[in-house]
A and B are shown apart, each in its own frame.
Chain A
């Protein structure tokens, strides 16, 4: 019960202090929206909106969660208010979940901005939204954990931000969003299969455009493995680096 009170209040504080602040709300809407428009203008009708949608959703989640995490964790680390959480009588794992949950929710909301936009142009009723939501959640969780892992590994805020772009952009190009994985150069293919985003995108592709490499069950399984692995690495690094 005590942990639950602490957990809920950490989450609530982050939502009130960071996520519901006007700049972040507008960032959460404008960013996915401008990506959507950019892609639509560029494609000039060559590609349908449905083909673009999975990529836009995945991208919105990825950028939404990681940039929020930079704020709630790296920023609080620098101002040393994060120390308060570390010396509170809650386990580090509960703390980590509370801290990333806000970013995850933010990412999930972001994912549906392009969906709302697309709904004006195409019929989205055929899509399996249940499974799509599962994929979005899994992408949000893995991105948040990856972002956290970077924040823990970096010494400085700017280092965290550089690192984070270093992995975000290549990941977008290797996960099959823009270039289908079978068209990737042979050396890059294995890398692509090591990225959690690849599997998340594959589910989204399957649900929205009907073309996927793996079955949804397989992809979900792989993503769960990624989540456990990343969570473990985050805890280990926090215990090693932040309680130094």
Chain B
């Protein structure tokens, strides 16, 4: 039983089922990622959890509170960073933060202190008096995140925190998220960046067409697919002529000759290297380097969801 428990959560938009009976739970202090392509149902899920949308079925329990019945109580302990930077355009950065803090009942002195601290922490002090509409996209994103944590929430909901901003700002934001985790916050994040999920999430759920198809830690996910062991060898000459002999000697292995001076040994089991090296040595071929090729989370995602990696690439570029 985690700090957040979602069971059979469902969302219908008229006839269309955007979220299809999903269940997951989030442990205290972890970063839990919901990873999926556009339209998978990530925002629909988050909106039901924060009270912006009403579930068509299922239960949400947050810190022991029934979020479907008692959402106002839940909203006191959660921080929300929506997918859009929806702060007030005409107000400056500092006033925006203070206003958001006031919504949580914080007093003036406390609000101003926190706002100043956060502007400092997010490197935005220089823009404190600038209106929000004059901020760059990365700055807007950062201020939106600051606004979501100003009241020191226990649990954070971030909807695509790094979408649509440059690499450097995205890196800073990921670091901020990891810092928040160090402070003991529980974090729920949605993303369609595989590497982002891999880099910062403790556990990941793959969501496709409103269904969670797999949940686990990165390691668990990697192990969940039937995995092949691959070792890449760097050689001093081609072993084209030796391919058959090698495969004959090592029956469980497949040899892939990718280019002139390298080859790939692929096997269902772990590969013992020394017999291979000995054989090659006896043929007068030197091996300079042997490297294990690990499958990436992307391979796992593609295998489990059937969604092409190239499709996710297009989405990344598009958004």
Contacts and interface: CB of A to CB of B under 8 A. Distances in A.
Which interface residue of A6, A87, A91 has the most chain B CB atoms within 10 A? A87
A44 to B, nearest CB: 45
Contacts of A85: 103
B80 interface: yes
A95 to B, nearest CB: 10
Interface string B104-147: 11110000000000000000000000000000000000000000
Interface in A54-87: 79-81, 83-87
Contact of B88 (A1, A6, A81): A81
B105 A87 contact: no
A79 B132 CA distance: 13
A88 B90 contact: no
A88 B75 contact: yes
A128 interface: no
Contacts of A211: none
Interface residues of B, number: 26
B102 interface: yes
B88 A17 contact: yes
B52 to A, nearest CB: 6
B54 interface: yes
A183 interface: no
B84 interface: yes
Interface size, A (range): 20 to 34
A90 B76 CA distance: 9
Contacts of A91: 72
Interface string B82-107: 10101111110000000110111111
A236 interface: no
Contact of B90 (A1, A17, A80, A83): A17
Given A9-B99, A84-B86, A3 B105 contact: yes
A217 interface: no
A5 B105 contact: yes
B58 interface: no
A88 B104 contact: yes
A172 B100 CA distance: 39
B51 interface: yes
A244 interface: yes
Contact of A243 (B53, B102, B105): B53
A244 B53 contact: yes
A8 B106 CA distance: 12
B52 A89 contact: no
Interface of A: 1-3, 5-6, 8-10, 13, 17, 79-81, 83-91, 243-244
| Interchain residue pairs A-B with the least CB separation, the first 6 | A2-B105, A9-B102, A88-B103, A89-B75, A80-B86, A89-B76
18 contacts: A1-B105, A6-B102, A6-B103, A9-B103, A17-B90, A80-B84, A81-B86, A81-B87, A86-B51, A87-B51, A87-B52, A87-B80, A88-B75, A88-B103, A89-B76, A89-B105, A90-B103, A91-B72
